[in-house]
């Protein structure tokens, strides 16, 4: 049986490495080429004649809608799987109308990517589950003011409690302990909560809670939360930490989690390598968290540069798209740990801080 020929198109080298490594153990798949921008895509398609194109449509020199339309016309039998960080449902619908066979979100597990490839090659359509929820239950309208004013009334007391704890950075296990519920029950409440406030993740829900302080007032006016779990607050000397991530909401979420478990810490934020290096020179952080993909930059390279400036600093690399190669390169760059962003909860963060600061 002939192998399925795959062309990878993504402007991040590390993401292409992650995809390649995720698929290398799959039978009858062969990566026949890689490109990093729209200008080199069409020559690569003509030369390699792939069966499947795995593409991030937000590459330089690439007009997504027009280019996908042209590709479908030139290569009608080519399967196209979009792998992107963008989850705007209108944008996704436009690409689906132009004939892409699947749309996969980069923050989903690598096992899901393998499943997406299998579905698309089998002639089925693939849409990541968070996107599917958005497409099935789109926003039905109404002004922002109307949505906000009705937020408190449509949430139950328990949902308000969980939203409050989630905004504080508690993971499912900690919430279950505090509320005297099982983890499974917490997961069920979270699913319903996300549906009520029209979000797809705990990060979005936490951001929603901080954007709508009236929900905190509503929660306080109902049954109070009884804190019956062990506190994670650390009694320790002050420390300086740095969070480097191009997603401002994720940086703020990590900062709040750190503030809750280590209030003595002074936490700085940076969106890119230049800003991170400036802060490192100024404050010499003892512990730095860096996303592997910083927009168009390489977080592992950022870690190398920080290591040259502050030899004693502990560096933890994070990725929503974890991969063995990322881990290997990160350790070579001087990182002391590599974690999956989806698994970074208060308990994990607590342990990392304790290991780093002694």
pLDDT tens-place string over residues 222-261: 444 434 434 444 456 788 999 999 888 788 888 888 888 8
State residue 119 phi and psi, 5-degree precision: -65, -45
- Is 0.75 surpassed by the pTM of this model? no
φ and ψ at residue 34, rounded to 5 degrees:
-140, 140
Q: Residues 139-164: what's their mean pLDDT?
A: 57
Minimum mean pLDDT among 52-56, 180-184, 311-315: which range?
A: 180-184
**CATH second-level architecture of 144-221?**
Orthogonal Bundle (1.10)
Higher pLDDT, 264 or 244: 244
CATH code linked to domain 4-136: 3.40.50.2300
Element at 116 (helix H, strand E)? helix 110-121
Burial class of residue 183 (count of CB atoms within 10 Å of its CB; 0-12, 13-18, 19+): middle
> Which pLDDT score, from 0 to 100, does residue 21 have?
82
Q: Reduce the DSSP state of residue 258 to 3 states and report it.
A: helix
pLDDT of residue 290 exceeding 90, the answer is yes
Domain residue limits, the chain: 4-136, 144-221, 239-357
Chain centre distance of CA 205 = 14
Q: Where does 239-357 sit in CATH, by number?
A: 3.40.50.2300
Domains 4-136 and 239-357 share a fold: yes
Q: What are the backbone angles phi and psi of residue 246, rounded to the nearest 5°?
A: -80, -5
Q: What is the rounded average pLDDT of the residues 322-326?
A: 67
Determine whether 331 is exposed, middle or buried from the number of CB atoms within 10 Å of its CB (0-12, 13-18, 19+).
middle
| Residue predicted with more confidence, 201 or 254 | 254
Dist CA 292 CA 329 (whole Å): 10
């Amino acid at each position: 049986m002939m192998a399925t020929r795959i062309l990878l198109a993504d402007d991040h080298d590390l993401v292409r490495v992650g995809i390649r490594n995720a698929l290398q153990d799959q039978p009858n798949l062969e990566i026949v080429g890689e490109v990093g921008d729209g200008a080199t895509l069409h020559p690569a398609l003509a030369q390699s004649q792939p069966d499947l194109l795995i593409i991030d449509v937000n590459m330089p020199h690439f007009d997504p809608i027009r280019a996908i339309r042209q590709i479908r016309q030139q290569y009608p039998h080519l399967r196209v799987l979009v792998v992107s960080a963008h989850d705007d449902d209108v944008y996704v619908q436009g690409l689906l109308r132009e004939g892409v066979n699947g749309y996969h979100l980069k923050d989903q597990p690598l096992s899901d990517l393998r499943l997406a490839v299998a579905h698309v090659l089998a002639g089925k359509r693939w849409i990541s589950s968070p996107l599917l929820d958005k497409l099935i239950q789109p926003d039905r309208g109404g002004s922002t003011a109307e949505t906000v004013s009705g937020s408190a009334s449509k949430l139950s007391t328990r949902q308000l409690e969980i939203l409050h704890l989630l905004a504080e950075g508690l993971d499912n296990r900690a919430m279950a302990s505090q509320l005297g519920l099982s983890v499974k029950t917490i997961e069920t409440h979270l699913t319903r909560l996300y549906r009520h406030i029209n979000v797809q993740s705990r990060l979005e829900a936490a951001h929603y809670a901080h954007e709508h302080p009236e929900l905190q007032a509503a929660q306080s006016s109902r049954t109070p939360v009884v804190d019956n779990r062990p506190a994670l607050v650390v009694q320790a000397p002050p420390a300086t930490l740095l969070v480097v991530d191009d997603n401002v909401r994720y940086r703020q979420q990590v900062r709040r989690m750190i503030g809750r478990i280590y209030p003595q810490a002074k936490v700085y934020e940076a969106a890119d390598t230049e800003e991170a290096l400036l802060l490192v020179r100024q404050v010499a952080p003892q512990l730095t968290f860096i996303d592997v993909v910083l927009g168009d930059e390489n977080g592992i390279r950022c870690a190398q540069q920080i290591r040259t400036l502050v030899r004693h600093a502990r560096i933890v690399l994070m990725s929503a798209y974890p991969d063995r190669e990322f881990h290997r390169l990160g350790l070579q760059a001087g990182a002391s740990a590599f974690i999956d962003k989806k698994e970074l909860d208060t308990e994990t963060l607590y342990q990392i801080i304790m290991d780093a600061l002694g």
